Amino acid sequence: MTTPQTKSETPVQMTREQIQDKIISNSFVNERGCWEWFRAKNSRGYGQICIGGTRSYLAHRISFKAFKDDPSGFLVCHKCDNPICCNPDHLFAGTDSENLQDAYNKGRKGKINKSEIAGMLKVNRPHKEIMREFGVASSAVSYWKKELGYV
Ligand SMILES: [Zn+2]
């Protein structure tokens, strides 16, 4: 079971640049190019980051958000299978049916129906329009474009 991390991931106390700095300065780069988080880890081996306030967040998700895109409603997965890695180039947003369902249950218009999104891509609807239509982040649209062979 993965705890959905779709709520309150916006660290208001720190700017995007400050978060990027924090991730870089708390990681060592290994020989595979992984940014290995050397601060707190959770029981599953994922790095944990505090960005103001008392709550800690999964470091790789925060890294993804700070360097790439808002992963709300998606799992942030490691291409390198290294849970403490925060290198945004080693991360991608993946779908997880439970996670998507959870986002949908929270009232987002983000339930992605594969045939619907395929239909929109077929008629060449713009990326931004698809994001709006499904209420998902840009990374989600990119994921489906790739998944359905439109990249
Ligand atoms: Zn890595």
| Ligand 1 geometric centre to CA of 64 (Å) | 12
Count how many Cα atoms sit within 13 Å of the Cα of residue 30 in the half-sphere of its side chain.
13
Residue-level pLDDT, tens digit, the chain, 151 residues: 444 444 555 545 789 999 999 999 999 999 999 999 999 999 989 999 998 777 899 999 999 999 999 988 788 988 898 999 999 999 988 776 545 555 555 544 345 677 778 888 888 888 888 877 777 777 778 878 888 888 7
The residues with which 48 forms a beta bridge, in sequence order, are 58
Calculate how far, in angstroms, residue 60's C-alpha sits from the geometric centre of ligand 1: 10
Which residues have a Cβ under 8 Å from the Cβ of 93 and sit 6 or more positions away?
64, 69, 71, 74, 75, 76, 77, 137, 139, 140, 143
**Both tokens of residue 124?**
């060449």
* pTM as predicted: 0.57
Amino acid symbol at 10:
T
Strands, E, within 6-83: which ranges? Answer: 27-29, 35-37, 48-50, 56-58, 75-78
**CA torsion 33→69→56→47, rounded to 10°?**
-20
Distance 10 CA to ligand 1 centre (A): 24
Fold designation for 11-94? Homing Intron 3 (I-Ppo) Encoded Endonuclease; Chain A (3.90.75)
Strand 48-50 to 75-78 pairing? unpaired
User: Which is nearest to 65 in space by CA: 128, 110, 13, 23?
Assistant: 23
| Å from CA of 104 to ligand 1 middle | 30
Cα 46 to ligand 1 centroid, rounded to whole Å: 12
